[in-house]
Amino acid sequence: MKYSWQHPDWPNFTFDETLCRDALYQYALEAGRLSGGMSQLENTLQYDAYIDLMVSEAINTSQIEGERLDCEDVRSSIKNFLGLSNPPTRVADPRAEGMAALLVDVRNSFAGELTKATLFHWHQLVLPQQENSLLPRSLKVGQWRDSVEPMQIVSGPIGYEKVHYEAPPAYQVDTEINRFLDWFNRSNPLKAQRDIVLAGPVRSAIAHLWFETIHPFDDGNGRVGRAIAEMALAQDLNRPPLLSLSTIIEKDKNAYYDGLNKASQLNLDITDWVTWFVDSVLLAQQEAAKKVDFVLKKAKFWEKHQHTELNERQQKVLSKLFNAGSGGFEDGLSAKKYISITGSSKATATRDLSDLVEKECLYRLEGGGRNARYGVGLE
């Protein structure tokens, strides 16, 4: 025996919750504080903040798996599904539409039970069928894996592969999922009666690990598993969480995969995994507060410049920077980037940028020399 699912006491995980008590307390404080702050905002600003966090989650949960999605495609898809675009914006990438649909569905249905039908539906959203798809024809979408070959997590070149983990065989998947779903639904804090009581982030940590250990699908397990983790957090708060967990995971995905790998070994003590996961949830909550602050600053920017005369190119660049979120300002805006966005000449870009600085829409960052970079004038 090598893995946790082979342990005679599986799936009776053990952990020391006292080691993450401070992080749980801080998370509860910050979640309440941010929720209270959000309730004071106008509806349009609330939507902006929610959408920014959902875009971050969609982009990063895909990036963790090595899949890049276009930020604008994701944003447009989310707004379409929320009914905020009339008429709906056309989105060419079905992957962006699928991830947007998944996140909206998690937020709309979090209070209900998690079922196999839900998991199959989410899997279909994560792996949309499309012409010219790079997905192998044998890949099962919207159903459990059924190959007699072992489901292994491996790395390294062909002939020198290292097996990090082997999931339960396909014939056990349905039984294992039934047991997982029974636990998840019996521990739902929104139920009038429950016989399993866990702190929200701890339950989320266990749910994610348990699902990933079963690894029920041919592909897409990580993205579906992180949706389950978010559903658990939403049930704890009785509202969609104001955070993007995948944004934090993507920043240190080696620690994430290492944690999953260690927690899936034969020992059922998952204290290290739970502690790491709870810390990540807290970091995600703190990062979300920064994003909401950015939304407020963006609103103040447009209020300040509502009568500022801007040409079409300048409006396009500013909108694109704001749509990229707070991370879109990290490297600043260069003339080269301005030309790339607008298709203008170098002379026009230089003139437009100087005009934006004069109107206090942009300011010149220190350093850079001839390759000047500009930041957005947020207050």
Q: Name the residues annotated as catalytic.
A: 215
Please tell me the distance from the alpha carbon of residue 298 to that of residue 38, in angstroms, as a whole number. Answer: 15
Please tell me the distance from the alpha carbon of residue 208 to that of residue 228, in angstroms, as a whole number. Answer: 7
- 256 annotated as ligand-binding: yes
The answer to whether 228 touches 208, Cβ cutoff 8 Å, is yes
Minimal CA–CA distance to 167: which of 156, 158, 180, 157? 180
Specify the residue for token string 């056309």. Answer: 90
Minimal CA–CA distance to 266: which of 213, 207, 215, 222? 213
DSSP 190-209: TSSS-S----HHHHHHHHHH
Q: At what angle do helices 271-304 and 43-63 cross, to 10 degrees?
A: 130
Please tell me the distance from the alpha carbon of residue 295 to that of residue 49, in angstroms, as a whole number. Answer: 6
CA dihedral 90, 95, 98, 100 (to 10 degrees): -70
Tell me which DSSP letter residue 90 carries. Answer: P
Task: Tell me if the bond preceding 201 is cis, omega within 30° of 0.
Answer: no
CA dihedral 151, 153, 157, 158 (to 10 degrees): -10
Q: Residue 249 contacts by C-beta under 8 Å, 6 or more apart in sequence?
A: 60, 64, 226, 256, 280
- 220 annotated as ligand-binding: yes
Burial grade of 297 (CB within 10 A; 0-12, 13-18, 19 or more): middle
- 364 annotated as ligand-binding: no
- 173 annotated as ligand-binding: no
- 160 annotated as ligand-binding: no
Enclosing H/E stretch for 363: strand 362-364
- 331 annotated as ligand-binding: no
- 27 annotated as ligand-binding: no
Task: Tell me if the bond preceding 169 is cis, omega within 30° of 0.
Answer: no
CA distances from 260 to 5, 28, 203, 210, 282 (A): 13, 25, 15, 10, 18
- 278 annotated as ligand-binding: no
Binding residues: 219-226, 256-257
Binding residues for ATP: 219-226, 256-257
